Amino acid sequence: MDIRRRRSCLAGALGIAALAAPAWAQDRYPDRPIKLLVALPAGGSVDMIARLVGQKLAATLGQPFVVDNKAGASGRIGLPLVAKAAPDGYTLMASPASFLTTNKSIFKELPYDPQADFAPITKLVNQPMVLAARDRQKFPDVAAVLAAARARPEGLTYASSGDGSPQHLAALMFQTRTKARMLHVPYKGGALAINDLLGGNVDLMFSPMPEVLPHIRSGKLAGLAVMGEQRSPLLAEVPTMREAGFDGLAMSAWIGLLAPAGTPRALVDRLNREVHAILAAGEVQAQLRDAGMDPAPSTPEQLQQTIAQELRLHAELVKAAGLVPQ
């Protein structure tokens, strides 16, 4: 065999090996720990579901799922790390809807593209939004909140987990529909916002149910209304916004699982199947529902469609609220 033929055979062998390598790697997946990024501090509902699903995936797949909290800047610190990560299934993220939908309208520039930079795997849960207050005597119901807001424009303060968060968006919806004006106080995460609400440093919060449920149950916070179509069995005494006299104020904050764009579809499908099985387990469903979360698994395409739809809807809401992008 001459040198030219040897080189040709070697190149062919290397080419076959290169084509086979991804399939081999996928067959061995996972063979090392997986990072599960949460662009929020520990203690909130996104962190809660990430740790639960990560723990179950670790037991199923045989490798640790390490939750990495990269909080700050309304997701603009954490999400670019996932967008730039290798698309090999070893970097995933659990994200609230707002980082993938509302941020596009809230900020002039984003260091990531919500649609182009990520591969949706599945939606994890929906979370009903709840309007909560610390001072039950001052705010016995939603009508009292509205009266106070109209009497003192921007005199009432409401907390959120950051600009463009579900808490922020729910408050924008309330203000737009009721023609009220309140002062937004953003924090780096839901847990920090709840702490200041409990401490009396802010008046109100439109919060995902898991973050306020234990405090409403303990009597430390007053649940004024649920932003759902029907009452929650976990807060049966709390009316819906419609029952409180305010129609058209329904919102649920979802959390999704995503990977970097370009992640092989075989890995996406496998993770989708594994998470669906986890969310279908009776003990997991009971645990989530007791915490105020509704299991909501989806296909990757359904999650992609949800992101596209809410990008448009949230842009309209932000525009109607007169909010100028930062």
Domain 33-126+252-320 identical in fold to domain 128-235: yes
Q: What whole-number distance in Å separates Cα of residue 18 and Cα of residue 20?
A: 5
CA angle 94, 97, 100 (to 5 degrees): 90
Lowest mean pLDDT among 5-9, 120-124, 168-172, 274-278: 5-9
Mean pLDDT of 37-64: 95
Mean pLDDT of 150-179: 90
Mean pLDDT, the chain, as a whole number? 90
Express each pLDDT in 171-202 by its tens digit: 988 998 899 999 999 998 888 899 999 999 99
The predicted structure's pLDDT at residue 24: 42
Checking if the pLDDT of 145 tops 70, the result is yes
Checking if the pLDDT of 159 tops 60, the result is yes
The domain segmentation of the chain, as residue ranges, is 33-126+252-320, 128-235
CATH class of 128-235: alpha beta
The CATH number of 33-126+252-320 is 3.40.190.150
The predicted structure's pLDDT at residue 325: 81
Q: What whole-number distance in Å separates Cα of residue 9 and Cα of residue 268?
A: 35
Put simply, whether the predicted model's pTM sits higher than 0.85 gets the answer: no
Express each pLDDT in 280-312 by its tens digit: 999 999 999 999 999 999 999 999 999 999 999
Bigger pLDDT: 169 or 1? 169
Handedness of CA 19, 24, 27, 28 (dihedral sign): negative
